Amino acid sequence: MTAEGDAPADGGPMFCYRHPDRETWVRCGRCDRPICTQCAMQGPVGLRCRECGKPARDPMSAFTPAQLLGGFAASFGGGLLAAYISGMFGFFALFVAFFAGGLIVEGITRITGYKMGTTMDAIVYGGIIAGAAVAFWFANAHLIDLFLRLGADAGSANGGTGLGGMLAQQAFWAAIGAAFTVLGARARGR
């Protein structure tokens, strides 16, 4: 066997540069190193080794700044709108939120150019949760202001739950609505 898997002078078999114990008759179409069937990848014109066949950047998970900004804006706006609208439906908000999550991820997917991966997941889920949090803040700004000025027990006279209890209940349903929106987005996005 010669260095780096080169063919012997007598024209015999070569050995894979990554697996020196494997005999091969195939070379990489770009770097001309011998490769075995496990190391070979289909290239544009023949087989390539793993190093030569790997793309410089993955087009399905690489974003331009405009795609990132547009995707997050759509996700944030969709989460904001879904939380605001679902707040009007009571218990049925869970169904509205699930359906809205599917619509949100469909819009984001079209804006970003059908991207995939962890960055896309972060854009979708992070934007929905941030939008829902802002919608909760705006919908309950008057209660939050009273809570900060008067305290958690304000309004609890005559058997009431107080501002703290009311805010906790609103926050619970807002979190459930955001979770159902994320579930809807996840179901549609996969």
3-state secondary structure 119-155: HHHHHHHHHHHHHHHHHHHHHCHHHHHHHHHHCCCCC
Token couple for 32: 């001309």
pLDDT tens digits for range 133-166: 999 999 888 877 777 777 766 666 655 567 777 7
b/e for 21-37, b at 16 or more Cβ within 10 A? Answer: ebebebbbbbeebbbbe
Task: Report yes or no on whether pTM surpasses 0.75.
Answer: no
Spell out the residues 6+ positions from residue 14 whose beta carbon is closer than 8 angstroms to its own.
5, 6, 7, 8, 23, 24, 25, 27, 34
| pLDDT band at 1; cut points 50, 70, 90 | very low
Q: Which of 69, 82, 95, 61 is nearest to 129 (CA)?
A: 82
More confidently predicted of 57 and 74: 74
d(CA 156, CA 178): 28
Which residue in the block uniquely carries the two structure tokens 């010669």?
Answer: 2
| pLDDT band at 76; cut points 50, 70, 90 | very high
More confidently predicted of 112 and 58: 112
